[in-house]
Chains A and B, each alone.
Chain A
């Protein structure tokens, strides 16, 4: 019995000692200010400094939601700006729900300072499944926008980028962890969706392609959609097929893209791309007949081949690699200087596109 009491006492003492180890982790949820999105803008006068803006969500009280406020602060680094901001708010700034980081274009135009994205990865409370994007006209403007359908601050952007809400092939979302990976990985280059704001509306249908240092190329909405065929598993979209003067539109239900690097033959290195499109006719400028479906498929194949080829060529000419051809090459080759070989190969590679469209029906009963 005495032995037991002794042991209990020891346990109790350790438990009590343990209570001192908890530090200052305890902070009630109502004593925190939740950041929902972060904007990084350049400072015109001093290119070394950055303007950091944080959008804070105001807690929902009695049916009043979508209340938020933005605080901007200049600083030499993000960390410094955030520390300065802490003295301007009444509660602890909590980044755990910050799911969007928006950069101004100009930050990326010349060389991007790695700290501008590494800071977010280093922070414990920053989730690496946050999205990264470019904001237009400025990053701050994107934070300020407040669409009518929004019920929580920045939530409409989260829904659009996260595909929880709208599902479209024109948006290529980019996660922070993936963004970081693409900066470090040879043969896979970073890309960022561009969010344009006009009044309280968003437009996310372009993508900016970067090499390891700076912004290189911006794709048009249509090109973005075609690039997305390579990046997303069976995206839902509508493909416009030009047929001479006329055109028709295929509503895709499944798109499968495969590619193969054929580089063993040094004379004629090429990338063979196979695209399977499954869909039905959604709109047409002429009378569509069921018996002509085979012919429409042929037209679609040709047209798509041409368009995809153009996009890939454009990307190749900018010497960026968002799809990761280089990574695939490195993965399949074991030579010492495989990366150098690839760098030499890539600019002059040919693309052989093979599209196989399958139109199931015209969407109408004849």
Chain B
């Protein structure tokens, strides 16, 4: 085979850039040429698997058989694939009349990180890394079953992010699997960086409020969910796995539920649901009760609420909106800020601003309690994508309560419920509470 035209065409097709390396190796009668991109290529592997043997093995035929039998070396397929592989980090080796691909991809970010989003007191503490093979390895370790299937695909027309579909072929629901594959093939996106981007594609309108895919950073949760028959997506470069299908009760469950004793787990679950209801309805209830239906309060409470609102110049809903906005700004700020001064922001914002706002008569004492209770309840929700959705949906009910009072709250909760009922996650109704076998 004449490799020269191919070599030339590859060189011509690849844009000249700083990190493209074309190296010729010569030793006695042996001659070898290698092309790679040094920024995404592991040069120590190149050194170990290619350069050292090249100089150590004397004869041409011996070196050829070494290359042919090396597990990391693949024979040339076609021109197009060669170029793609080169861009994704492999080295192209021209030796004699053969073209080889050496898998020398640099596996960056393969350190396993500690969980930071879904923290538990008990149970495993490590999360996924940002490297796909490492993550697959983590799952394999936790799920040593021969029925575990790992399929590979790419998403993103530019990013070509490699995605692994992981499931247990024995336990998976075939309908769900087909739907997931159909869903993945239907995605049109240029840059695919992290699984959270998929959430918007779950609806035709591409506008989603409640996530129907779970995003988790915990390998233990992923393994448990594989056993429950779910389909897992692992995305290269993202320390989060996507679990499908996911319904409300999954979003409300924490891994700690399994690691606690039965009654403690149930108690914590109930507390979490109370938190969910509180955070959604509390600001709206405040407006409805103080401005429309104060008879619902006990006399004591009504009088002290009235007393604490005495100096407040604005109607209750302006008060609530001011405080909620402040809270949202605080939360956003504390994410953006570097960790070292993050706590300062919360102190300044939460304590000093809140205290000053009441003393200035801008908001009432009770309001501070309502807003902070609502915010705390929001943090109780274990899955952060869902907790964001809840954070937004409380404004909808608040809006209705401003105009219709208590009836508005009921209407809002009803509409929210109706919306959730209308959702489904890959064929599974969103509000189902049926337990799966684990």
Residues of A bordering B, CB below 8 Å? 4, 18-19, 22, 25-30, 32, 34, 36, 57-62, 65, 94, 96-97, 99, 125, 127, 152, 155, 158
Contacts and interface: CB of A to CB of B under 8 A. Distances in A.
Contacts of A158: 299
Given A25-B292, A26-B291, A26-B292, A152 B300 contact: yes
Contacts of B307: 59-62
Contact of B309 (A26, A29, A62, A152): A29
Given A18-B403, A26-B405, A96 B295 contact: yes
Greatest chain A CB density within 10 A among B300, B303, B402 is at B303
A94 B294 contact: yes
B179 interface: no
A15 to B, nearest CB: 9
Contacts of B69: none
A58 B404 CA distance: 27
Contacts, number: 77
Q: Which residue, of A19, A65, A96, A99, has the highest number of chain B Cβ atoms within 10 A?
A: A96
B346 to A, nearest CB: 28
A29 B404 contact: no
Given A32-B306, A94-B294, A152-B303, A22 B403 contact: yes
Given A18-B403, A26-B315, A61-B308, 19 more contacts: A18-B404, A19-B403, A26-B291, A26-B402, A26-B405, A29-B289, A29-B290, A29-B294, A29-B306, A30-B306, A34-B299, A57-B303, A59-B306, A59-B307, A60-B304, A96-B293, A97-B295, A152-B300, A155-B299
Closest 3 CB pairs of A and B: A96-B295, A59-B307, A59-B306
Interface string B306-346: 11111010011000000000000000000000000000000
A366 B292 CA distance: 63
A8 to B, nearest CB: 11
A28 B316 contact: yes
Contact of A60 (B292, B303, B316): B303
A4 B205 contact: yes
6 contacts: A22-B403, A22-B404, A27-B291, A29-B289, A30-B310, A59-B303
Contact of B310 (A34, A61, A96): A61
Contacts of A125: 295
A58 B332 CA distance: 40
Which of A22, A28, A34, A96 has the most CB atoms of chain B within a 10 A radius of its CB? A28
A15 B310 CA distance: 32
Given A26-B315, A30-B310, A30-B312, A36 B299 contact: yes
A152 B303 CA distance: 9
A65 B301 CA distance: 12
A28 B299 contact: no
A94 B316 CA distance: 17
B299 A29 contact: no
A175 B216 CA distance: 57
Contacts of A97: 294-295, 299, 302
Chain B binding surface SS class: helix
Contacts of A28: 290-291, 309, 315-316
A26 B288 CA distance: 9
Contacts of A57: 299, 303
Nearest to B298: A97
B305 interface: yes
Contacts of B205: 4
Nearest to B290: A29
Contact of B295 (A27, A65, A127): A127
A9 to B, nearest CB: 15
A49 B316 CA distance: 40
B367 to A, nearest CB: 12
Contacts of A65: 303
Contact of B306 (A4, A34, A152): A34
A327 B312 CA distance: 54
A60 B304 CA distance: 5
Interface in B276-301: 289-295, 299-300
A25 B316 contact: no
Contacts of B315: 26, 28
B102 to A, nearest CB: 49
Contacts of A99: 299
A29 B295 contact: no
Nearest to A65: B303
Contacts of B293: 96
A2 to B, nearest CB: 13
Interface string B204-216: 0100000000000
A29 B309 CA distance: 8
A130 to B, nearest CB: 11
Contacts of A18: 403-404
Contacts of B403: 18-19, 22
A270 B293 CA distance: 51
Contacts of B304: 59-60
B406 to A, nearest CB: 10
Contacts of B308: 61
Contact of A59 (B292, B310, B404): B310
B294 A32 contact: yes
Nearest to A66: B303
Contacts of A36: 299
A268 B290 CA distance: 62
A59 B310 CA distance: 8
Contacts of B291: 26-29
A65 B302 CA distance: 12
Contacts of B292: 25-27
A27 B316 CA distance: 9
A96 to B, nearest CB: 3
B344 to A, nearest CB: 31
Contact of A29 (B300, B316, B405): B316
Contacts of B310: 30, 59, 61
A29 B312 contact: no
B287 to A, nearest CB: 9
Interface in B387-438: 402-405
Nearest to B307: A59
Nearest to B304: A60
A84 B52 CA distance: 105
A127 B302 CA distance: 15
Contacts of B299: 34, 36, 57, 97, 99, 152, 155, 158
Nearest to B294: A29
A294 B316 CA distance: 67
A29 B312 CA distance: 11
Contacts of B309: 28-30
Nearest to A154: B299
Nearest to A36: B299
A155 B312 CA distance: 27
A155 B306 CA distance: 17
A62 B307 CA distance: 8
Contacts of B303: 34, 57-60, 65, 152
Interface in B126-146: none
B289 to A, nearest CB: 8
A36 B303 CA distance: 11
